[in-house]
Amino acid sequence: MGYFPFFMDIGGKKGVIVGGGKVAARKVEKLAAFGPCLTVVAPRIEACMRAQEKLFRHDAAASLCFCQREFKTEDLDGADFVIAATDDASINGRVSEYCMAEHIPVNVVDDRGKCSFLFPALVREGSLTVGISTDGKSPLAASFLRKKISDNLPGGIGEIIDYMGQIRPYVMNLKVEESARKEILGKLFLQCLEKGRGIHMDKVRIGTRGSKLALKQAAMVQAALREAFGFLETEIVVIHTKGDKIQDKPLSEIGEKGVFASELERALQEGEIDLAVHSAKDLPMVLAEGMSIEAVLPRGNVRDVLVTPKGGRLPFPMGCQPEAAVPFGADKDGAEAAELFVIGSGSRRRQQQACRLWENVTCENIRGNIDTRLRKLIDGHDGKTAGEGMKYHGIILAGAGLDRLDITSGQDGRFDFYPLSPEEFLPAACQGIIAVETLRDSAVAALCRGITDAETALCFSVEREALLALSADCSEAAAAWCRRETERLTLDVMYAGKRARLTCAVQLDAGLKMARQAAELVKEKEQF
């Protein structure tokens, strides 16, 4: 029969050590780190035993006191455990007999037959404790194995375990599947082992573009990580992208897919940042090697918004009514608009839909962040793209960006804002979604899964699958909009002037199949 290796909390527990010599002192030394309240009973307390007092001074709940006299059985009353370590077999026997009768755990040094528990060989590193027992048959073997284990422990293992203890409550509180929680903890542990320490001293570097909107979205990811993982330190790192630098060409003419994402991916690959924050609609269909989207935040406003100068004209609608009281196709006094209505947009999707839905509309390229585009609308021309004096009567912007920057129709009294119906004016695939990209299978990737929104992630995957099936990307005149309606998913897809709508069960596999089917339908249809 062997001895089961129970691990018990002896902090504050009463322990009695019978014996005051070197053997007893070694037992006290091993017990001290676990915070018991020990009483040593012996007619002689040797200096090596008294030296153990210093081990207890740091812990107010632990104590070591001495009773320098002969042992009495009354010394064992109320004890939680007892160790007999005298050189007198008869005294050790009395201690064992009494403890056995009173059901007090007892260890008699070098006499396995009189023990109810064994004192293991210990490896102790921070919160790590390894107990080694040979059932008392070979203390030498136990000592050999203890040294072997101690010499081969990973560097910094004590700090790593303490760090894992700090983060575990946060991870266990995440509203994700148990398998996801295990994966997060596993990835973090492996990264700590690689670094040789807890990674709490590192900052998670959040890469982003430098526009106001991009910085706002990065701050939203930062806040989500802090809320989920209070132990994390984070910082935002600005990466300047090709799409930001080139402002005199439409995105479709820059000659590179994912112009806003490529530099962020490079920064990830080269270790400048730990994660990249994207407007999901700007992502290329194929990510850089080794990269993956590991989190999406809850979806924001999916609509496009027509913005005009305050009191300005509106285009004449053909089936696309904004959710506004002002009728389209007229000045504010009701007079019909006969001349062309110029819309500023660099998006082929927006240009195509605007020209299809509204009469007397022409589209001109406009680039820049939201503030820049609003300024160009007010200034009345974009000298580099539309020609000197070319006026924009309106521009089309994503509603999510306007919402996140808290831009409203009352801003300086300069603008009117007309949200467009997404059923008629289809949004870009993944519009309104903030996506987080990381190195695949990294610890940060595992953390990011803890902040992802499940329903948004489902729609994100379905819309991306539709574009993939169409061999389209974010720079083309394509649209995909997936949403949950009661217990069904509904998907609208548009490409090359063709549209399709399908529904399916609220399941990822069903949604991906639906996306591929919608793409095939679009390919078969004639242009609308």
The SS3 assignment for 316 reads: strand
Q: What is the mean pLDDT of residues 435-451?
A: 91
Class of domain 453-528 (CATH, top level) = alpha beta
The mean pLDDT value of the chain amounts to 87
In the structure encoding, which two tokens stand for residue 425, read together? 């004016």
Phi, psi for 423 (deg, rounded to 5): -65, -35
* pLDDT attached to residue 408: 72
- Write the pLDDT tens digit of every residue in 92-123: 999 999 999 999 999 999 898 999 999 899 99
- Write the pLDDT tens digit of every residue in 325-360: 333 444 444 444 457 899 999 999 999 999 988 888
Residues 189 and 198: their CA atoms lie apart, in Å, by: 8
pLDDT of 426 > 60? The answer is yes
**Which residues make beta-bridge pairs with 367?**
none
The yes or no reply on domain 154-296+430-452 and CATH 3.40.190.10 is yes
Vertex 426, ends 423 and 432: CA angle to 5°? 105
Residues 235 and 275: their CA atoms lie apart, in Å, by: 11
pLDDT of 525 > 80? The answer is no
Whether the CB-CB separation of 432 and 301 falls below 8 Å is answered with yes
- Write the pLDDT tens digit of every residue in 45-93: 999 999 999 999 888 889 999 999 999 999 999 999 999 999 999 999 9
Residues 400 and 427: their CA atoms lie apart, in Å, by: 11
Residues 424 and 288: their CA atoms lie apart, in Å, by: 34
The SS3 assignment for 267 reads: helix
Residue whose structure tokens are 């913005």: 307
Q: 0.85 cut: is pTM over it?
A: no
Vertex 139, ends 151 and 160: CA angle to 5°? 30
Phi, psi for 248 (deg, rounded to 5): -100, 10
Q: Of the given ranges (3-12, 137-146, 192-201, 282-291), which has the lowest mean pLDDT?
A: 192-201
Residues 425 and 499: their CA atoms lie apart, in Å, by: 11
* pLDDT attached to residue 390: 54
**From the centroid of its chain, how far is CA 41?**
55
> Confidence band (pLDDT; 50, 70, 90) for 194?
confident
Write down the domain spans for the chain: 14-119, 154-296+430-452, 304-419, 453-528
CATH fold of 14-119: Rossmann fold (3.40.50)
Same fold: 154-296+430-452 with 304-419: yes
- Tell me which residues are annotated as active site: 281-282, 349-350, 367, 373, 474
Provide, rounded to the nearest whole percent, the portion of the chain with pLDDT above 70: 88
Residues 360 and 373: their CA atoms lie apart, in Å, by: 22
> If 0-12 CB within 10 Å is exposed, 13-18 middle and 19+ buried, where does residue 127 land?
middle
- Write the pLDDT tens digit of every residue in 11-56: 999 999 999 999 999 999 999 989 999 999 999 999 999 999 999 9
- Write the pLDDT tens digit of every residue in 445-495: 988 999 999 999 999 999 999 999 998 876 778 999 999 998 999 999 999
**From the centroid of its chain, how far is CA 138?**
49
- DSSP β-ladder status, 415-419 and 304-309: antiparallel
CATH fold of 304-419: D-Maltodextrin-Binding Protein; domain 2 (3.40.190)
* pLDDT attached to residue 187: 87
* pLDDT attached to residue 374: 92
